[in-house]
Structure 1
Amino acid sequence: MEKRVNLGKAAPELYQTVITLDRQAGEYAASAGIADGFVHLLRLRASQLNQCAYCVRLHTRDALASGESSDRISVLPAWRETQYFDEKEQAALALCEAVTMIADGQVPDSVYAQAAAALSNEEIAAVEWLCVVINAWNRIAIPSRYPVKA
């Protein structure tokens, strides 16, 4: 594989801006009452959809460290088929997936309505910001080919 430009090293000031935005999004999620472990599951789910191996590994480890169970992490790609996630978490996961896959039908009204029925405006904003930021991270890591070695 040819060597890629590492975006973080090429423009460290921009990279630092994303770090700051990530921290702020996490703080906003905490103030909205979203559990730290579930924050990592949202980041993990978006990273799975984007096939960002670096971020999948990172947020799996972070989710485990924050107390998420290996069962919830394992079934995350098939969360709709499980009873591991409550109504609010299901709405948040659906919204995160829609934001991540925005080119595929935007954020459908049905997904937003489900979120609005289960989540407060602050929770919706927190989920959306988390997903915006993790999608930015995925778009930094993937073209830079961040290494994922065993």
Structure 2
Amino acid sequence: MTNTQRVNIGKLHPAPYKTLIAMSTEVEELAAAAGLDPLLVELLKIRTSQLNGCAFCLRMHTRDALKEGENPDRIAVLPAWAETGYFSATERAALRLTEAITCVPDGHVSDDDYDAAAAALSADQVSAVAWLATVMNAFNRVAITSRYRVDG
């Protein structure tokens, strides 16, 4: 890591950041309307941030999930969700699709990943998960680029 002072792009240009926040609010509303559990929404944000290595968002959304009553064990095993019995079929489908969307540099969202999501989620839920992943990836990139500090 260098000593270069990073520009906080959200503060320097607040209008796009406020638009991103408004978009996030709208996406959370559509996720709720689609019947996605608010705890699952937080888990999707945490998983996206884990994959992107965004410490700032990880801390924030882990705290939010715990405050909402999420089981700490589920958060602890989230990186290995597919190997556990902690997650329902709906949660597993949403996590799989979120990972596929987040990891597009590894290849496009495969038909297998999409079909698995579509088999367990309604069309509204698939769309909500895709939008949640898209918005969370954008927030991660803002925080990582600006190097939002996470001190102990």
Q: Aligning the two structures, in what range does the TM-score lie when normalised by the shorter sequence? A: over 0.9
Please provide the CA RMSD for this pair: 0.6
d(CA) in 2 for partners of 1:33, 1:74: 25
1:94 is aligned, of 67, 80, 96, to 96
Question: Size of the alignment, in residue pairs?
Answer: 150
Equivalent residue runs for 1:25-44 within 5 Å? 25-44=27-46
2:70 is aligned, of 68, 71, 78, to 68
Equivalent residue runs for 1:1-150 within 5 Å? 1-150=3-152
1:79-130 Cα offsets, whole Å, 9 max, x none, are 0110000111101000000000011111010000101110000000000000
3-state SS, counterpart of residue 103 of structure 1: helix
State the identity as a percent: 53
d(CA) in 2 for partners of 1:105, 1:5: 31
Offset, 1:2: 1.8
d(CA) in 2 for partners of 1:106, 1:50: 17
Q: TM-score with structure 2 length normalisation?
A: 0.97
d(CA) in 2 for partners of 1:49, 1:131: 11
Give runs of ≥4 in structure 1 deviating > 3 Å.
Answer: none
1:33-80 Cα offsets, whole Å, 9 max, x none, are 111111000000000000000001011001111111001100000001
Tell me, yes or no, if the aligned pair for 1:47 and 1:135 is still in contact at 8 Å.
yes
Tell me, yes or no, if the aligned pair for 1:38 and 1:68 is still in contact at 8 Å.
no
1:10-46 Cα offsets, whole Å, 9 max, x none, are 1100110000001011111111111111100000000
